[in-house]
Structure 1
Amino acid sequence: MAKQKRGKSLWHLPTRARGTCPVCKSTRTKLLYPRTKSDGTALKVCKRCDGASQERVDAAV
């Protein structure tokens, strides 16, 4: 049987959790993974950048 509620919570997020990743600059990707910079600011990154090194996250704008 198909799962009817898969991804349903994304519809309640602004722009359905899509945007431009601040680390890799890819556009229209899902930004679901929280990462923090060394100075304490929080970023939402894509799935590929979730495992990125801390230096790449700190260099993000």
Structure 2
Amino acid sequence: MATKPHRGKTLLKLPSRGRGTCPVCKTTRIKVLYDLIAEDGSKTTVCKRCQHKKLETVANLK
């Protein structure tokens, strides 16, 4: 775990500081940091609220 002055520093190095549009819930300007892996092996990054959703939901997006 990072100490208090260094919290979130890795987000500054990500493109758009880790923010984007979640492909599951379509929320814009939200942090998309969590990987969901579909049955075919493709990875999709989603927001915190959608990280535990069923993989069928993500598979239907493509």
TM interval, shorter chain, is: 0.7 to 0.9
Percent identity reads 50
State the Cα deviation string for residues 20-58 of structure 1 (Å, max 9, x = none): 001111001101101112222111000001000111111
**Length-normalised TM-score, structure 1:** 0.87
| Mapped pair 1:34 → 2:31 | no
Rounded to whole Å, the distance in 2 between the matches of 1:60 and 1:20 is 13
CA RMSD between the two structures = 1.0
Q: Give the number of aligned pairs.
A: 59
TM-score, normalized by length of structure 2? Answer: 0.86
Q: Unaligned regions of 5+ residues in structure 1, if any?
A: none
